[in-house]
Amino acid sequence: MPELSPLAKKMQIKRRPPTPAAPESVAEEAQEVEAEVEAEVEAPRKGGLPGVNIAHLIAQVSQQPTAPEPLCLLMVGTRQAGKSTALGTGKGVMILLTTSDEAHSIETARAMASTCYGGTIVPVIIDMMTEDSNGRPLPAAQWGTLTADQAMVKMNGVLDSMIATAEIAKQIQWVAVDSLYSVFKRINEKKNIQQIKNVAKNNFRAQEVALKELLDLNQKLLLLQKRGLNVVVTCPAAAEQDKQTGLYDQVEPLLEGYRNNLHVVGIFPDICTVGKATIETQENETFEGHFFQFGGNLNKSGKKVTGEERCINFKPRINGILSTETPDFMNADLTELAAYKLSVRESRQLKEES
């Protein structure tokens, strides 16, 4: 079993009882959505599908070692919960993609980085013109505002450039988006989506186009994770908290739309909430600070067309780590979280090879 920090070890001892499942799991809801659009996506299958040799697949798997997996983390928390502070705990270089709505996070993250691991925060404010036509930084007094369309071109350009760079993980260790809510807001402000919504009067189609663009962005982030970068995306939330400890009981992401949450929030391999809390261990020691939390309920509620209530439960998790191996709380430290996830994978690989 890989080593946790001393505080995480103490927190692991005192565990909460299992959180009851929400009315519908992500898998169940996904199946329901797929059933609703089955008539549209069903492809001709009369010719049959290529045969699959299971023995061949098993042989391929047995020959491949377990690859270390960086973080691809959705970090959910209320305002002032410490999301920006946590962004400064990544060791190495971090490209921080943000909007003018969230620009305050830059200095907060930089301040934390300078006192934590000496990390470097490289901010990219996607909806501000901060460079001239030759890519040279402009003085802040000369910055200009970009349209939503220009902002998304800028963001996609940064991600595409990173993807196209050979051995990118040797130069940059982290890419962060602050926040999912603000980026989706810019997507919905694009001209084509506004025209579909306000001129064509097709709100459902506008939602589908916006969702597809957001999913395309997420796929680029997942690709960067496969290339060896740690990915962190923040998302604001509404929450009910314990009045004494500050720990979350119920958390709901503020990303607009039930289906958006189903298809976007649910695809993140790693999910945690972050917040300020007072924690008492089994040894009656008390700790105060910002913590990653893996307990409580992270839900999104909504209604079906029929008016029936529905709810998705996004269980906070670290991908590839059993719930019995995951502490209820950890310091809000990205470097420590990434190291713990990596150590679990390496420990299992050693067992497989022995």
Q: Mind spelling out the 3-state secondary structure of the chain? A: CCCCCHHHHHHHHCCCCCCCCCCECHHHHHHHHHHHCHHHHCCCCCCCCCCCCHHHHHHHHHHCCCCCCCCEEEEEECCCCCHHHHHCCCCCEEEEEECHHHCHHHHHHHHHHHHCCCCEEEEEECCEECECCCCCECCHHHCEECCHHHHHHHHHHHHHHHHHCCCHHHCCCEEEEECHHHHHHHHHCCHHHHHHHHCCCCHHHHHHHHHHHHHHHHHHHHHHHHCCCEEEEEEEEEEEECCCCCCEEEEEECCCCHHHHHHHHHHCCEEEEEEEEEEECCCCCEEEEEEEECCCEEEEEEECCCCCEEEEECCCECCCCCHHHCCCEEECCHHHHHHHHHHHHHHHHHHHHC
**Domain limits at 199?**
6-15+70-353
- Name every residue whose Cβ is closer than 8 Å to that of residue 160 and which is 6 or more positions away in sequence: 220
Query: Beta 329-331 vs 286-293: how paired, if at all?
Result: antiparallel
Residue 210 belongs to some domain of the structure: yes
CB 314 within 8 A of CB 300: yes
pLDDT tens, the chain, 354 aa long: 445 555 555 454 344 444 444 444 544 544 554 444 444 334 434 444 455 566 655 565 555 544 568 999 999 999 989 999 999 999 999 999 999 999 888 999 999 998 888 899 999 999 999 888 877 888 888 889 999 999 999 999 999 999 999 999 999 999 999 999 999 999 999 999 999 988 888 888 999 999 999 999 999 999 999 999 999 999 999 999 888 898 898 899 998 888 888 889 888 999 999 999 998 877 888 889 999 999 888 988 887 767 788 888 888 999 988 888 888 889 999 999 999 998 887 777 777 776
Residue 28 belongs to some domain of the structure: no
Bridge partners (DSSP) listed for residue 76: 235, 273
Number of domain units in the chain? 1
Residue 269 belongs to some domain of the structure: yes
Residue 168 tokens, joined: 């990118």
Residue 126 belongs to some domain of the structure: yes
Give the pLDDT of residue 19: 46
Residue 44 belongs to some domain of the structure: no
Residue 235 belongs to some domain of the structure: yes
Give the pLDDT of residue 188: 95
Give the pLDDT of residue 14: 44
Residue 331 belongs to some domain of the structure: yes
Q: Note the pTM of the prediction, 2 decimals.
A: 0.81
Give the pLDDT of residue 262: 87
Residue 258 belongs to some domain of the structure: yes
Residue 61 tokens, joined: 């798997």
Residue 339 tokens, joined: 């190291």
Residue 296 tokens, joined: 């409580």
